[in-house]
Structure 1
Amino acid sequence: MKGYWHFPAISVAICVVVIIFQDKSLITGFILWLLMLYVFKRLGKIPIMVSLVLFFFFYTFIPVLTPIESPPASETATYSGTIAGSINKTPKKVDFVLHDDSSKAKLLVVYFPDKTDNLIDKHVKDWRHGATCQLHGKLELPDSSTNPGQFDYQRYLLTKGITYQVVLHSPDDISCTGATKMALFYDMRTKLIQYIRHEVSPETAAWLTALVLGDDSSINEDTITLFQRWGLSHILAISGLHVGLIVALVYFMLIKLNILTKEKAQWVMLFFLPLYAIIAGGEPSVWRACVMVMLFIILQKLKLRYSITDALSIVFLLLILSDKYIVYHIGFQLSFLVTFGLLLSRRLLLQTESSLYQLLYISFVSQMMIFPLQIAYFYTFHPLSILLNLMVVPYFSFFVIPFMFLMLVLLPISGFFTTVLDTLFSKIQTIFIFVMQAIDHHFYYPLTVGSISITGAILYLVLFFVFMKQLQKKRLWRSFSYGCLITLFIIGTTLKPYFNSAGSVTMLDIGQGDAFVIELPYRKGVVMVDAGAKVNFGDEKLSDKNYRQIIKPYLLSRGISKIDAIFLSHEDIDHVGSVPFMIEDIDVGKVIISEYFPLPDNLRIDWKRNGTEIKQLEQGQTITIGNQVFSVVSPVVNRNSANANSLVLYTELGGLSWLFTGDIDADVERELIAENADLTVDVLKVAHHGSKTSTEQSFLKSIDPTYGLISVGRNNSYGHPAEEVLQRMETAGVFLFRTDSDGAVTFRFKDNRGTFFKYLP
């Protein structure tokens, strides 16, 4: 098997893909691949048998993530178990994982300290790794996504094997005793982080704890987003580079300072590396690097010679055996995909002695290898990220990371010198982030690809593998041909919506508010009707949460980078609050409002500065976007009420007629049917979230809708939708879709036929 371990590793990787995407047709492709390797004598019987055995073993070993059912107990109960892992503590939240003794399940225990709770440290001092705890609480289902593209917290916890959560109302609801010896290392990490934050400036502390201890919670959220946008997230995660530097540092101190012999130093490293992996947060990329070094030390001691590819493949298999949920971790996926890619192209790296060219190759291979994952998780790709890596990677490799380790070593020794280094680093890092922000501002024009199929991802990786193989063999014309195919694949994937004859209308679930997205066939236009927001509780400031967590992820998942027009029904925050964030972030062609919409001058100036045209329409006018005609039905006169002055739109999509009503009341409804006696619609956007002040029986009888759409928040304080409205809709025979029970609702159509789909089952 020596020299062939990458085949079982690739087989298990295919097995992981089959499990995650539940695409069993890939099994046939996998067996045919092995058969082809055997027929063409590329692989012997033993590697093939090992690959098959491991494939089917891991197929039964790795769990399939299935939706969680409602908790078995709906009332408060007593649970006992053992704390696993570290205690995650922030000023706003404390949480940890508890292994429940009775169900053998993992529970996430969460406590939100009150601002007046000054004894939080005293309360949680007994919450330690390995402690035996008893708690009183109620099992709850974690929040799941209710919109396409939205982060699914429930699924995220499932990828860690966590099924339910228990929210503690008071620290008195739990009592813990004892701890394991491993708790000392988790405590050491916590105290070390606290010590660093106390001794150096917040800017330096944020980077020191992130790059040495794997805690990036203090790094500015905008900075993390900046790194994600440019495909630089790997910089913020502890990886082989970090582990290599700390191994070199410790090894140098032990050997060069004559503290230990080489033999004893290796034993120290075998003991030190797993402890560092724990102290550094235990992320998959850390374990990969640490186990790789440990494996090489062990092989050297046993006088066994294995290639780096074999070692990496064995580590890959061992890590999955140690934690069957690790395959769902994005860090695990990125780490091994990039490392395998670099190993397979190492011959190309060795063909040049130029450090600049080697850096370019590494950046190119890394970015191209993660392209499918970059699209799957973030929906965008920036070609210039390859060049930006040339600047960022050396800066962090040769300055920031070594500087952070130096700071950590010097912290207990020299107060004044540490302060000087702290100030120096803080200023340099601030300048560097400023430069990155400037680059982002002027050059960030990403390819918004949207989602990518598993077939497309596999095809891309095969093309890239063949491209790199031809390049290494210096078959330039062949490599150029495959490079062209890769480019065409990326462009084709990006332009896919422009060849799609289907369109859609999606009512997003943004809680108590409205946000509709209309995608015309062949991407002739993307139109929105309203984009609501919320205000932050306490400070009453407008929140970008709806845009950042719901609207933007949905647009990106659909490959949308431009909104051709957005109709604003009226000025209430739950209908227009996200628009300023949208215009600041993406290209919005037009904002269309009624003649009675009181748009503030500052917004009018800002929006025009961003290239957005502001158009006012009155009753009776029409506007064409793409090839879609929208007619303004109301307001007829100024009623001096935001709700009553709502812009009411009529259009036809997928063979159905649609009426978007904003928040109009019964008086406007009566006026509307009086002015348009022949008006009938198939789909009614129910006014004012189903308020009892709207949707009268006479209105329903006149327009005779078949479907009703209600965008409404769960358990909202307004009592929407009103029971009497629901009864009227039932009496009128209207089939209702509601975001509070159905999540996002999408109508997909082609020509004059279409179907409604609910996001939630």
Structure 2
Amino acid sequence: MADRFKEWRREAGRGQHQEEFFVSLLVALSLGIAAGRFFPVIPVMPGMVLLGCLIVWAAWSIYRSSMQVWPVFLLAVFCLGLLRLQTSLLLPVDDLSHFAGQELQVEGKMAEEPQVREHSDGSRSVRYCIQAEAVTLSGSGTQHASGRLYVYARSPKDRAPVLPQIGDSLTAHGSLRLPHGIHNPGQIDTELLLRSQGITAVLIAGKSGAAVKALNDSRASVWTRLLRRLAVVREHYLSSMQAVMPKEDAAAIFAMLFGGYQGLKSELLEAFTITGIVHILSVSGSHISLLAAVMAWLGSFFRLPQLVRAMLVVLAIAAYSLLAGLVPPVIRSALMGGLSFLALALNREKDARRLLLLTGLLMLTVSPLLLFHISFQLSFAATAGLLYVAPVVRARLRRMHVPSSLAAGLSITFAAQAATLPILAWYFNQLSLSSFLANLVVVPIVEFIIIVGIAAGVAAFVLPFAGKLAYAGDSLLLGAVYELTSWMASLPGSRVWIPSFSWGAVLIYYAALSLFACKEPWRHRILDGLYARKACLAAVCALFLAAGTGYRLSQADLMTLAAIDCGQGDALLLRTPHGKTVLFDSGGERDGNEPGAFNTGQRVILPYLRHYGIHELNAIFLTHAHADHAGGAGAVLRTMPVGRVYTADEGREAYAQSMGIGSADALLQKLQPAQEGQSFDLDGVRIEVVFAPPSSGKGAASGNEASNVYRIVYGGASFLITGDLTKEREEMILKKGKNIRCTVLKVGHHGSNTSSSEAFLQAAAPRYAVICVGAGNRFGHPKPEVLERLKGLGIKILRTDQNGEIVFFTNGKTIRARTYLD
């Protein structure tokens, strides 16, 4: 085995094994980029000198045909990735992000088309993307500024929103903030995602909204005029569709053509997600490959020379990419899908794999933040699966006498699912089993809808009636697609929930998948080598198994309480030593329960539970009915089994409104008011209802004054959950002589000065104070005086806006805290 390895290294030093070399370079570059987030910042000049030395060393190794060529190249590429990541995070001194936290006026040019969302009250929210040029601070002059930002403005229902074109000047006044996302395991990193798109700040416009100064076409650059014309063409497509079909159908077909989720029917989106074909609603490599295949077929039909057909495919991909807006995801899809298709069409499968690897290397070198972008992760992994795994699966199916067309469809679906499984498990915790059926039955129909839709838009310019007829047919086909996907999504086992992979499991999984997909001689060599060392391998496995078993036994008596980062709201998850789970409050309110809005229960709480493999809750305890505490419970109750829901004494109607549940919904039968003095025992963990104010004679108490207080006790560790408890209610609890001693205090009302009196804090005497609060919230929480009060008592403060998810581990004797961002 050692001799074979030496021979392999000598061959590599002579330029053989190029594909394996590119794979190792891509892995090294990715590891370097990932390490760049954790390494101390390396000064640019010393870093460049180090990289230059490594490149010279690599060149010398090539000249000497040394066996050191490969490892030296890997080290150089690793350092390149590390340096590129760190330099990409550096911002110029005049970048807008340096003005965060201030009220100011910003001026800039529109970089993208505005995005509009209608609300149930008739008002509309608009998101503008602008390239900043200047800022004006109150009390000082105008300063030059750079960087892109999103400006959010809201127009009342009696006033039309301002909708500028690309290149127009926009001025807005408001509060400038840094982008901030949700920091829980499995959540998409919003800050890095926006940074990869060049967005470094967000401005919330005041009541005055935004003012626009139009740029005349004659004064616009050629590129700006082109982008405007393309926007007009896209608008022509959308308006042509809306003229002959319902708005929701038009939104769905438009999304299939050009990407986006605006105006989509939530049921359609859910059905597409469950059946694993939601990628159809974003411009992806499959769109590019479909377009390329159609153009290649046309070239063959007209018997064009191979070179002309290739040029036709390239031109079609370029035109479609321009029409789709030439945004980064479209460019990535065009590069990866287009190059791979051309190589495969020319019967150069090996070259297709090399092109994919080279494209990945180039894209990550130019924009290293793409490594953390879910779109890049999924598209690259899926394309790699199609090129490496699908041929192996297809060959095996053909040996089993599976028909060629069926083998092709099954191998493509299996390869894409297998290559992306750890990514899907991390972000979504689900695997679509119905995707095999959906890809065989539904996707061909959707592909036909896309081709007809593109052709109909062209036809509508020349023959409007023909365009309308084609769009009407598309609408009918979309109805069939919706019925089929809804039926498939409702099938038993249409999707299975899977836990997130550990890093060790990810490495083992991809190593096994690589072994499955590698060339036959290499697979036999590796398996023979492993078999020859089976005793050593068995010993290593036994050692890991023993270590894992020992670790699990050491954790058997641990209870955990996690403060979930859900923005400006409260949500805490209790897990007992034997796996029983209880949710205390459930966050909510960001956009309420409006259709298409950000639903905290659906987008934060449920993904968090699934990330940890939790698919049912023993109970939910809600402190009171305010939406930022109870709003997320509606999505949880609709999605997974829940035992009982204990509430404050405010009446079911108040909770129904916060949760977005109908007042006659049977789910409300699960709700019952908690009674002061009640106690619940789960696996030796005791939940006490310390305070539950009764309803008054005029009706149920409401608001912060109605907040229940719960105390969790496990051995010598205790946790006090106070909701939005007011100082007056704190005083009432103290007068009653209630036991509120705790190890961890969930600070009342997000750190507002209406809670957390000195006397209450002294009586509770916690070691830790947890503040559930949203970054840059409009209330100014937590208040400085509350923070000073906590610090003065020597209490360690942890905040979800600064620390992300906060988890406490205790065996009843000792306690430790772990935060997601630290």
TM-score by length of 1: 0.78
| CA shift for structure 1 position 459 | 1.4
2:172 and 2:211 in contact (8 A); partners too: no
Partner residue of 1:651? 712
1:9-408 pair list within 5 angstroms: 9-20=23-34, 54=77, 56-63=79-86, 71-73=97-99, 86-90=112-116, 92-96=125-129, 98=131, 106-108=147-149, 110=151, 112=153, 114=155, 118=160, 120-121=162-163, 123-124=164-165, 126-127=167-168, 140-149=176-185, 150-165=187-202, 169-172=209-212, 178-200=219-241, 201=245, 202-250=247-295, 266-267=310-311, 269-282=313-326, 283=330, 284-292=332-340, 307-320=351-364, 323-345=367-389, 346-351=391-396, 352=398, 353-397=403-447, 399-408=448-457
Partner residue of 2:582? 527
1:367-516 pair list within 5 angstroms: 367-397=417-447, 399-443=448-492, 446-468=495-517, 500-501=555-556, 502-516=558-572
Distance in 2 of aligned mates of 1:667 and 1:455: 52
* AA of the residue aligned to 1:72: H
* AA of the residue aligned to 2:227: Y
SS at match of 1:530: strand
Pair 189,740 (structure 1): closer, same or farther in 2 beyond 3 Å: same
Pair 428,368 (structure 1): closer, same or farther in 2 beyond 3 Å: same
1:536 and 1:542 in contact (8 A); partners too: no
Partner residue of 2:3? none
| CA shift for structure 1 position 367 | 0.5
SS at match of 1:521: coil
2:182 and 2:190 in contact (8 A); partners too: no
Distance in 2 of aligned mates of 1:136 and 1:566: 43
Partner residue of 1:563? 617
Distance in 1 of aligned mates of 2:588 and 2:288: 44
Unaligned 5+ segments in structure 2 are 1-14, 40-53, 55-60, 118-124, 135-142, 532-537, 539-543
2:131 and 2:149 in contact (8 A); partners too: yes
1:212 and 1:238 in contact (8 A); partners too: yes
* Deviations, residues 400-437 of structure 1 (Å, cap 9, x unaligned): 33333443343334444443333333233223223323
Distance in 1 of aligned mates of 2:597 and 2:408: 45
Pair 722,676 (structure 1): closer, same or farther in 2 beyond 3 Å: same
Pair 616,140 (structure 1): closer, same or farther in 2 beyond 3 Å: closer
Distance in 2 of aligned mates of 1:541 and 1:210: 18
* AA of the residue aligned to 2:194: L
Distance in 1 of aligned mates of 2:385 and 2:590: 46
Distance in 2 of aligned mates of 1:109 and 1:543: 18
| CA shift for structure 1 position 370 | 0.4
| CA shift for structure 1 position 566 | 0.8
Pair 473,697 (structure 1): closer, same or farther in 2 beyond 3 Å: closer
* Deviations, residues 414-465 of structure 1 (Å, cap 9, x unaligned): 4444433333332332232233234334536755445433332121111122
Partner residue of 1:7? 21
User: Does 165-174 or 622-631 show the bigger shift?
Assistant: 165-174
Q: Structure 2 residue aligned with 1:599, among 648, 652, 667?
A: 652
- Count how many residue pairs are aligned between Structure 1 and Structure 2: 719
1:206 and 1:219 in contact (8 A); partners too: yes
Pair 83,418 (structure 1): closer, same or farther in 2 beyond 3 Å: closer
SS at match of 2:461: coil
1:511-660 pair list within 5 angstroms: 511-522=567-578, 524-534=579-589, 545-593=599-647, 596=649, 598-600=651-653, 609=666, 613-614=670-671, 617-635=674-692, 638-639=695-696, 641-642=701-702, 643=704, 646-653=707-714, 655-660=716-721
| CA shift for structure 1 position 665 | 4.8
Q: Does 1:747 align with 2:808?
A: yes
Distance in 2 of aligned mates of 1:702 and 1:244: 67
Distance in 2 of aligned mates of 1:662 and 1:420: 58
Distance in 2 of aligned mates of 1:224 and 1:718: 34
1:534 and 1:543 in contact (8 A); partners too: no
Unaligned 5+ segments in structure 1 are 26-30, 32-37, 128-132
* Deviations, residues 545-585 of structure 1 (Å, cap 9, x unaligned): 33234323332333322222111233343432322221012
Q: Structure 1 residue aligned with 2:745, among 680, 684, 693?
A: 684
Distance in 1 of aligned mates of 2:226 and 2:109: 17
SS at match of 2:355: helix
Distance in 1 of aligned mates of 2:377 and 2:727: 55
Pair 231,13 (structure 1): closer, same or farther in 2 beyond 3 Å: farther
SS at match of 1:192: helix
User: Does 314-323 or 43-52 show the bigger shift?
Assistant: 43-52
2:179 and 2:202 in contact (8 A); partners too: no
* Deviations, residues 357-408 of structure 1 (Å, cap 9, x unaligned): 33222211210110011123223334444444333334334x3333334433
Distance in 1 of aligned mates of 2:596 and 2:113: 33
Pair 66,316 (structure 1): closer, same or farther in 2 beyond 3 Å: closer
| CA shift for structure 1 position 620 | 3.0
Distance in 1 of aligned mates of 2:773 and 2:673: 27
RMSD: 4.9
1:136 and 1:173 in contact (8 A); partners too: no
1:680 and 1:703 in contact (8 A); partners too: yes
1:687 and 1:695 in contact (8 A); partners too: yes
SS at match of 1:570: coil
Pair 473,717 (structure 1): closer, same or farther in 2 beyond 3 Å: closer
Pair 139,316 (structure 1): closer, same or farther in 2 beyond 3 Å: farther
